[in-house]
Amino acid sequence: MTRRRLNIVLIYAGVVLTCAILLFPIYWLVVTALSKPIDLRVLPPNFWPEVPQWQVFGKVLGDRPLLLWLGNSTLAAAGAVTLSMSVSIFAGYSLSRFRVRGGQSLGLFILTAKMLPATLLVIPLFGIFRSVGLVGSLWSVILAQATLIVPFTTWMLKGYFDTIPRELEQAAMVDGCSPLGALFRVILPVATPGLAATCLYGFVLSWSEYAYARTFLTSAQGNWTANLGLTTMKGEYVSDWNEISAAAIMVAIPVLLIYLFLERYLVSGLTAGAEK
């Protein structure tokens, strides 16, 4: 076997192994959802149920307000992304374009918010939200998640804006735009892939968030997000793991669909900074 062929075999072996490691939990989630509860306790385990229990999805939708939870999650994530993008576009653009005293330090300081664990921030945030009467409201989660994702979206957008030549907005300004006009008329349309990737990333971060929802929304069942709702399906003595798995699959599907449709934007947006 030539050295080149051996390299190819090793690379493929590495790819297959990585995919197997990444995909196994998803596969096992599906197997768990489609199995009868009794079959989940047998040893050796069944790697595919004899009779897949597809009706479990209907049962979960009937027994639990999963659609409401999904709707709340969508609202919270969309709200947090909208809020954080409207801040991050200006912050990222400023960090990319304007050289001001202490600007670099300020940019790095934004990231320190991300270095703190959510559980640390949850206490002061709870105090603030309680004082303004937001505990239990979906707004509390939207605002809290926005603080979580603003550092990410700001730096992602800064990286993307860095790849756009300054001459574009200079040309726009010579053509009669104000600096803000150049941003909206030229830079943002050009940055569409970067904006899409950043929105998607923020959405996924927000969608996966649990600690804030658990703290702020526990007493307001009507506002539960999907992640929070999922955890309530686990009983103290008995848990229907097939139902929990089915619900988990349905919670993961929206994000999966977004990835599938926006994958092209996501890749070009995430790699833009690397090409410079």
Give contact residues for other proteins (rule: CB under 8 A): 165, 167-168, 170-178, 181, 186, 189-190, 192
Residue 47 contacts residue 30 (beta carbons within 8 Å): no
Nearer to other proteins, 166 or 234 (CB): 166
Nearer to other proteins, 119 or 170 (CB): 170
Minimum distance between the CB of residue 272 and other proteins, rounded to whole angstroms? 13
Q: Distance of CA 53 to CAs 41, 43, 93, 94, 238, Å?
A: 16, 20, 51, 54, 19
Single out the residue of 244, 260, 259, 261 nearest to residue 30, CA to CA: 244
Residue 74 contacts residue 141 (beta carbons within 8 Å): no
Question: Which residues, 6 or more positions from 68, have their beta carbon under 8 angstroms from its beta carbon?
Answer: 222, 224
Nearer to other proteins, 118 or 190 (CB): 190
Nearer to other proteins, 177 or 258 (CB): 177
Nearer to other proteins, 169 or 240 (CB): 169
Minimum distance between the CB of residue 192 and other proteins, rounded to whole angstroms? 8
Question: Which residues, 6 or more positions from 217, have their beta carbon under 8 angstroms from its beta carbon?
Answer: 136, 138, 140, 141, 223, 224, 225, 228
Nearer to other proteins, 159 or 193 (CB): 193
Minimum distance between the CB of residue 166 and other proteins, rounded to whole angstroms? 9
Single out the residue of 118, 107, 264 nearest to residue 192, CA to CA: 264
Residue 212 contacts residue 125 (beta carbons within 8 Å): yes
Minimum distance between the CB of residue 172 and other proteins, rounded to whole angstroms? 7
Question: Which residues, 6 or more positions from 80, have their beta carbon under 8 angstroms from its beta carbon?
Answer: 141, 142, 143, 145, 146, 148, 149, 202, 206
Minimum distance between the CB of residue 189 and other proteins, rounded to whole angstroms? 4
Minimum distance between the CB of residue 184 and other proteins, rounded to whole angstroms? 12
Task: Transcribe 10-49 into DSSP letters.
Answer: HHHHHHHHHHHHHHHHHHHHHHHHHS-GGGGG-SSPPSS-
Nearer to other proteins, 110 or 272 (CB): 272
Minimum distance between the CB of residue 95 and other proteins, rounded to whole angstroms? 20
Question: Helices 103-115 and 138-163: crossing angle, nearest 10°?
Answer: 140
